[in-house]
Amino acid sequence: MATADIHITEETHHDGHEHDHDHHGNFWTTYVFSTDHKMIAKQFLITGIFWALVGGTLSVIFRLQLGFPEAQLDWLKPILGGWITPEGKLDPEFYLALVTMHGTIMVFFVLTAGLSGTFANFLIPLQIGARDMASGFMNMLSYWFFFVSSVIMLVSLFIETGPASGGWVIYPPLSALPQAVNGSGLGMTLWLVAMALFIVSSLLGGINYISTVINLRTKGMSFAKLPLSIWALFLTAVIGLLSFPVLFAAALLLIFDRSFGTSFYLSDIYINGEALPNQGGSPILFQHLFWFLGHPEVYIVLLPALGITSEVIATNSRKPIFGYKAMVGSILFIAILSFVVWAHHMFVSGMNPFLGSVFMLLTLIIAVPSAVKVFNYLTTLWRGNIRFTPAMLFSIGLVSFFISGGLTGIHLGNSAIDIQLHDTYFVVAHFHLVMGSAAFFGMLAGVYHWFPKMFGRMMDAKLGYIHFWLTFVGVYLVFFPMHYIGIAGYPRRYYSFTNYDTFNSFSDLNTLVSVAAILTLVAQIIFIFNFFYSMYRGRKASANPWQSNTLEWTTPVNPGHGNWPGEIPTVYRWPYDYSKPGAKEDYIPQHIPFSMTPESNLPHENDMIKLEGDGTKVVVDEKK
Amino acid sequence: MFEVIIAIGTILLVVILLTLFRIGTLVNVVKGTDKKVVGSSNRINAALMIVFMLSGLGFFFWYSFTYFDKYTIPVASVHGADIDTTFWITTAITAFVFVLTNILLFVFSFKYQHKEGSRATFFPDNVKLEILWTVVPAIVLATLVFTGLRAWNNITAPASEDAEVIEVMGYQFAWAVRYPGVQDNQLGDYDFRLINDKEGNLFGMDVTDENSYDDFVPLEMHVPKGKEVLLNIRARDVLHSVFIPHFRLKMDAVPGMPTHFKFTATKSTEEMRSELGDPEFDYFITCTEICGRGHFSMKLKVIVEEPEDYEAWKAAQPTWLKLNSDYLEKVPADKRELAIIKAGIDKEELEASL
């Protein structure tokens, strides 16, 4: 009952503002506790950028250790204090903490919240033609849970025993026993609390994204006319909704083991001169639960980036995305398969080898829809009329990373080969390219592309080009050499390789990687400057600067609360009518009816003209 | 002083860059180039695509071929050779696809860059093409799955009855190995509650089990060449993972859940030393599952020797019970005689010490 009332008041509220769409809120309701999806998207974006800088800086610190093992790091003492040993070296336990927090921050806080949070919030209502999310209030809660989670995670970096340091996968018993590593004390507790809040945030957001896409599409916006970005964000939310609760369960059982003496994951343990009473638990159980989220998480990170890329590549090639149905089909297929491949992370965990065979088969199947996506991107570029906007450059970069990193997945998905490569730098190279860098590039492409809609101004293109080329070359220089290091057998998460003759031959490549990592991080300052400078001083944007077809470009330059000042436009066609033969312009936006474009209609589209009229009538009848 | 100069220099550099950026923007406004949808930068970006592709592929091929011996490590086990074959088949196929698709990506980007007055081709779908590139990858992957499965099934098949059994246990931060002994060739029972580091019972050996009397715990692992070895792997505190790079062998060590890995070494340490031209070379076990502060330092020497040398080495090892004769008291009275004999303890010496 109460919800219904609120709904009605909101409706009238919007009507009242139809001609004066400036939302007169004070500072707090406009910028802080906003329920406007666009503001929430910006909140997620800025928080995501902050976390990306933190995560990137952490990685540079441990790259210093790996690239320059002999270097004196005394100069870091003012920042890191006791984590620099008296000899001027990085503390080995802090090294593990850095690796752990870098992974956690990048995977969850940057590439899940920063990417999905930003673009699902921003694009879903704008591209499907809705005034806002299904529940603006839940949406606001989603951000603030994320914010609290962020604060707790950030605090954990500064406590005396250090943040969690059992790897981002937090495998017990290491993560369950403070005796095993200092980070498993308070640091791990804060990690678990932060992640629990994070999951709440992502579920609140996900439910909203799903219900908005299903219920609030504008007239004519059938699922078959949805932009691929929405398809990707929609299915991402579905994946998240199904898998995050499993991580929550895993974390909860771990909390029980840590604090209440249960033995879900613990058995037969003797540590620090003492045999623990726990018996009957299984560390493997945790791995199954963790990767039941952990693997879909890869696609939670990647799919939105692929969706954004589809949009950007089609717009800037001035061509329809090739094989729209196949693209939707492959996202759907990937989404389903993502739930049945998790144990390929566990080939050598000691689980039954037969499971290994099954998961190897399922894992390699997932390469097929991925290959289809790549070929479709390539064909979209073929005979296009390509405009290299910064967003387009980052999208092309994404496709390159997706190819280069995806192919090594065929090695790792093969359980026999994985015996040798598991937990070596080969894995690090693989996932940083295919999911880390690709998703990161998707995020940057999205920012460059939708910045004009977010802030009404353009980002500087030339700075964008410089940013792209430095980052693109930098990322390849960081991660490509790691393949060789991995084939040579170097295990990951090693503080130092100096006591192994076999692992002591790549100090040159390791130095190269570290230098490239530092330069890549520094190059991001160009982006940060461009982003904040353009927000206030950038060139004023036009309503549709990229001459794109999707609905968000039919809003005013600075859309107010409710997005469209008048009626929400009706959708008549798919979003990819670029360079249609016969058309005057090389793009026809989705809200242009076929009756207005007789010169370019295909035969079956001429038949649709009749339905256009009927369609309005039917809807009018329904309203009565 | 030096720091101040660096700081001033950095600030100056930033100011100069900002000024250049501002001038560039203003020039664009004056010229009106900022109004154009596609500027002259388009051609530069397109050209850079080709430059990047050529230099990238150049470095890739140059490094991959020139430094082949540096990044590959020789293989010294029977199943390792199968893994390597599978690896290189997969690498050949993926490298081909990698080069091809990246070339298409960058060449298309360059070739179909924006041209004034030209228009993109409206080409929304083509069922034949799509079926083609769904089916071809599917077939290729099916072959890869098949070769991989064969190798995997062989590797994970049960070990033969007469395989040499060696127990490997991981703990923070080292590996320990236990051999079943030359008398009964059976590993004795253990229980984690019996572990006592101070008294030397690292493994939690249960001295009520007769099989434990002749077990021995050497400081390095010895392995016979050409004979199947079954590793019984366990951990007693947190997860560890046994990794012997030259044997292509990796298996997690899990507290509370013993795991296994079987292999047959094909090259003795001596042979590998002469192959590598490195008289210092030794095989080793290392850890590949994050386990805490000392994760990077869990190294255990492994020596592969000819079967007869191996047998001789085994016979020469003192039993654990002999080295820890205090534990004789914990042996049940009726088995003590047997224990003394099996452990090879010199009775007179023992009595003298008592």
Q: Do A348 and B113 touch (CB under 8 A)?
A: no
pLDDT at position A613 is 64
pLDDT at position A23 is 52
pLDDT at position B354 is 60
Chain B residues within 8 A of A319 when measuring between CB atoms: 120-123
List the single residue in B with minimal CA-CA distance to A387.
Answer: B114
A598-606 long-range contacts, CB within 8 A, separation 24+: A605/A573
Reply yes or no: is the peptide bond before residue A44 cis, omega within 30 of 0.
Answer: no
pLDDT at position B349 is 72
List the single residue in A with minimal CA-CA distance to B132.
Answer: A372
Chain A residues within 8 A of B126 when measuring between CB atoms: 322-323
Q: Does residue B350 lie in a domain region?
A: no
Of A311, A378, A256, nearest to A574 (Cα)?
A: A311
Chain B residues within 8 A of A490 when measuring between CB atoms: none
Nearest-Cα distance to chain B for A543, in Å, is 14
Q: Is B243 on the interface with A (CB under 8 A)?
A: yes
Would the pLDDT of A621 be above 70?
no
Q: Element (H or E) spanning B244, and its range?
A: strand B240-244
List the single residue in B with minimal CA-CA distance to A602.
Answer: B122
List the single residue in A with minimal CA-CA distance to B139.
Answer: A368
CB atoms within 10 A of CB A622: 7
Q: Does residue B193 lie in a domain region?
A: yes
Of A269, A322, A422, the CB nearest to B125: A322
Chain A residues within 8 A of B155 when measuring between CB atoms: 416, 419
Q: Is B125 on the interface with A (CB under 8 A)?
A: yes
Nearest-Cα distance to chain A for B349, in Å, is 31
pLDDT at position A149 is 97
* Residue B329 main-chain phi, psi, to 5 deg: -60, -30
Nearest-Cα distance to chain B for A441, in Å, is 16
Nearest-Cα distance to chain A for B1, in Å, is 16
Give the domain range for residue B333: 164-345
Q: Does residue B352 lie in a domain region?
A: no
Domain CATH number, residue B294: 2.60.40.420
Of B350, B302, B301, B348, nearest to B323 (Cα)?
A: B350
Residues B252 and B262 in one domain: yes
List the single residue in B with minimal CA-CA distance to A164.
Answer: B292
Of A324, A375, A403, the CB nearest to B102: A403
Rg (CA), chain A: 25
Q: For A137-156, how does the pLDDT look when each residue is reduced to its tens digit (9 = 90+)?
A: 999 999 999 999 999 999 99
Distance CA A571, CA A565 (A): 17
Mutate to test the interface with B, among A99, A267, A270, A506 (most CBs of B within 10 A): A270
Residues B128 and B70 in one domain: yes
Q: Is B239 on the interface with A (CB under 8 A)?
A: yes
Q: Do B152 and A505 touch (CB under 8 A)?
A: no
Nearest-Cα distance to chain A for B77, in Å, is 12
Cβ atoms of B224 and B306 closer than 8 Å: yes
Distance CA A315, CA A392 (A): 9
Residues B184 and B94 in one domain: no
A536-568 b/e (C-beta count within 10 Å ≥ 16 → b): eebbebeebbbbbbbbbbbbebbbbbbbbeeeb
Sequence-distant (6+) residues with CB within 8 A of B172 are A180, A271, B237, B238, B291, B292, B293, B294
Exposed / middle / buried, residue B95 (Cβ in 10 Å: 0-12, 13-18, 19+) = middle
Cβ atoms of B284 and B244 closer than 8 Å: yes
**179-238 in B: which are within 8 Å (CB) of A?**
192-193, 195, 197-198, 204, 233, 236-238
Chain B residues within 8 A of A473 when measuring between CB atoms: 52
Q: Do B83 and A416 touch (CB under 8 A)?
A: yes
Distance CA A103, CA A119 (A): 22
Q: Does residue B353 lie in a domain region?
A: no
For A441-485, give the secondary structure using H, E and C.
HHHHHHHHHHHHHHHCECCCHHHHHHHHHHHHHHHHHHHHHHHHH
Q: Position B220: which residue type?
A: E
Sequence-distant (6+) residues with CB within 8 A of A594 are A572, A573, A601, A605, A606, A608, A609, A612
Q: Does residue B3 lie in a domain region?
A: yes
Confidence of residue A424 (pLDDT cuts 50, 70, 90): very high
Total of domains in chain B: 3
Residues B170 and B265 in one domain: yes
List the single residue in A with minimal CA-CA distance to B79.
Answer: A416
Residues B139 and B245 in one domain: no
Cβ atoms of B102 and B53 closer than 8 Å: yes
Q: Do B237 and A180 touch (CB under 8 A)?
A: yes
Q: Is B149 on the interface with A (CB under 8 A)?
A: yes
Residues B261 and B290 in one domain: yes
Q: Do B21 and A411 touch (CB under 8 A)?
A: no
Chain B residues within 8 A of A360 when measuring between CB atoms: 145, 148-149, 152
The CATH classification number of A33-226 equals: 1.20.210.10
Q: Do A500 and B239 touch (CB under 8 A)?
A: no
Residues B207 and B147 in one domain: no
User: If you average pLDDT over every residue of chain A, what do you get?
Assistant: 91
Chain B residues within 8 A of A374 when measuring between CB atoms: 101
| Full DSSP string of A200-231 | HHHHHHHHHHHHHHHH-PPTT--GGGS-HHHH
Sequence-distant (6+) residues with CB within 8 A of B53 are B102, B103, B106, B107
Of A267, A323, A494, the CB nearest to B130: A323
Per-residue pLDDT of chain B (354 residues; tens, 9 = 90+): 677 888 888 888 888 888 888 888 788 777 776 666 677 889 999 999 999 999 999 999 999 999 999 999 999 999 999 999 999 999 999 999 999 999 999 999 999 999 988 899 999 989 999 999 999 999 999 999 999 999 999 999 999 999 999 999 999 999 999 999 998 999 999 999 999 999 999 999 999 999 999 999 999 999 999 999 999 999 999 999 999 999 999 999 999 999 999 999 999 999 999 999 999 999 999 999 999 999 999 999 999 999 999 999 999 999 999 999 889 989 999 999 999 999 888 877 777 666
Of A168, A288, A309, A293, nearest to A239 (Cα)?
A: A293
Distance CA A223, CA A561 (A): 25
Cβ atoms of A603 and B144 closer than 8 Å: no
Q: Do A360 and B114 touch (CB under 8 A)?
A: no
H-only helix segments in A366-457:
367-381, 390-412, 415-421, 425-431, 438-455
The ipTM is 0.93
Q: Do A403 and B125 touch (CB under 8 A)?
A: no
Chain B residues within 8 A of A484 when measuring between CB atoms: 63-64, 67, 70-71
Q: Does residue B196 lie in a domain region?
A: yes
Mutate to test the interface with B, among A375, A380, A393, A577 (most CBs of B within 10 A): A375
Chain A residues within 8 A of B249 when measuring between CB atoms: 419
Confidence of residue A1 (pLDDT cuts 50, 70, 90): very low
Q: Does residue B234 lie in a domain region?
A: yes
Residues B180 and B168 in one domain: yes
- Looking at residues A180-208, what average pLDDT do you find? 96
Nearest-Cα distance to chain A for B135, in Å, is 8
Cβ atoms of A321 and A380 closer than 8 Å: yes
Give the number of beta-carbon pairs within 8 Å between A and B: 338
Chain A residues within 8 A of B71 when measuring between CB atoms: 484-485, 487-488, 506
Q: Does residue B351 lie in a domain region?
A: no
Q: Do A476 and B299 touch (CB under 8 A)?
A: no
Cβ atoms of B265 and B223 closer than 8 Å: yes
pLDDT at position B39 is 79
Mutate to test the interface with A, among B44, B45, B143 (most CBs of A within 10 A): B45
More confident residue, B3 or A595: A595
